Amino acid sequence: SRARSRGAAGAALLPSMLMFGVILASSGLLLMIERGILAQVGPPPLHPPAGLSRRDGRDSPAELELEVLRDTRNRTIRALCGQRSMPRSVWELPPGQRRTVLRHLLVSDKYRFLYCYVPKVACSNWKRILKVLDGALESVDVQGKMDHKSDLVFLGDMKPEEISYRLKHYYKFIFVRNPMERLLSAYRNKFGEIKEYQQKYGVEIVRRYRKNGGSSAGDDVSFSEFLQYLLDEDVERMNEHWMPIYNLCQPCAVRYDFIGSYERLHADANHVLEHIQSPSFVRFPERQAWYKPVTAETLHYYLCNTQRRLIKELLPKYILDFSLFAYPLPNITSEFCRQ
């Protein structure tokens, strides 16, 4: 009990977004969640940590918050990836993990960059941009279903020496998103709209987790059933739409130059486009009119109407995404859910 008390006291001293201690002490994770400690994690403080200084003394609170967030992400990634057991390059990864990350790294030789695409983090729009930059698509606004394979160059299709050269010399970036929000987006899209996913995954999920569910067409999977499926699934065998970002893009084996976020999508996308010196007519596409975004209220509703046990047991599978990319763990306390 004394050890548990010390763990709880230590957790209270964690910086509001710096979750590296959670990674190293995952045995205390569920205890902290149970006691609601991590549910109270909020945005980063509006003052720079040690080592950061205002450039002109007139930075806005939003700019300072963003600076703190990026500094936190960089420090946490350096701390984790500096561990002796972590991979230093893609060649140190097991074959299956190496295939996954190389299959998700898209190449632009003309503009010398690598982009690790993450499904449900605006990757379709980034693929449109790559096609426009390569001349395979006239405009990012061209209507029609996105072909996620044609007219794109994947790093995994290259020879080892070509892969190593690009990993060393090209600008590398990735876009991330709150893990639970990304999962909810995948659930609503794939099981609410895509028949292929309903038949391939939905039918099996209902059959496995629902009594007398054999007659389901896979279009009525509940969010709880989906989370239970993820809990039982091997991370390395997951579909890319719900595989953790860490496993898809391996930020220790690939040292990304820029980590953009879904929450600042257009501003961060413009930063990347400016850095790679893309033509002025290339811009990040606007959100489609039919798209239904996951709002904070929607996420709140789903999480608070899901068994707390499921969420607490699932979090360790996505803890690296929460901690490395500085996202607070979901607040599922009774008090919050009563609001």
For residue range 278-334, list pLDDT tens digits in order: 999 999 988 766 677 899 999 999 999 999 999 999 999 999 999 999 999 998 888
> Hey, which of 51-55, 97-101, 189-193 has the most confident mean pLDDT?
97-101
Quote the pLDDT of residue 43.
Answer: 38
What are the residue ranges spanned by the domains of the chain? 63-338
Token pair recorded at residue 71: 């500094």
Smallest Cα–Cα separation from 121: which of 186, 77, 72, 71?
A: 186
For residue range 263-293, list pLDDT tens digits in order: 999 999 999 999 999 999 999 988 766 677 8
Is it the case that residue 94 has pLDDT exceeding 70?
yes
Smallest Cα–Cα separation from 119: which of 20, 199, 194?
A: 194
Token pair recorded at residue 258: 């820029």
Quote the pLDDT of residue 213.
Answer: 78
C-alpha of 108 from chain center: 22
d(Cα 40, Cα 326) in Å, to the nearest integer? 14
Kindly calculate the radius of gyration of the chain based on its CA atoms and give it in whole angstroms. 21
Mean per-residue pLDDT, 84-106: 96
pLDDT classification of 59: cutoffs 50, 70, 90: low
Quote the pLDDT of residue 139.
Answer: 84
Residues in the chain: 339
For residue range 109-135, list pLDDT tens digits in order: 999 999 999 999 999 999 999 999 998
- Greater confidence (140 vs 102) lies with 102
**Neighbouring residues of 215: CB distance < 8 A, sequence distance ≥ 6:** none
Quote the pLDDT of residue 33.
Answer: 42
Share of the chain above pLDDT 70, in %: 80
Q: How far from 121 is each of 125, 235, 304, CA to CA, in Å?
A: 9, 19, 24
pTM greater than the 0.75 cutoff: yes
Quote the pLDDT of residue 144.
Answer: 63
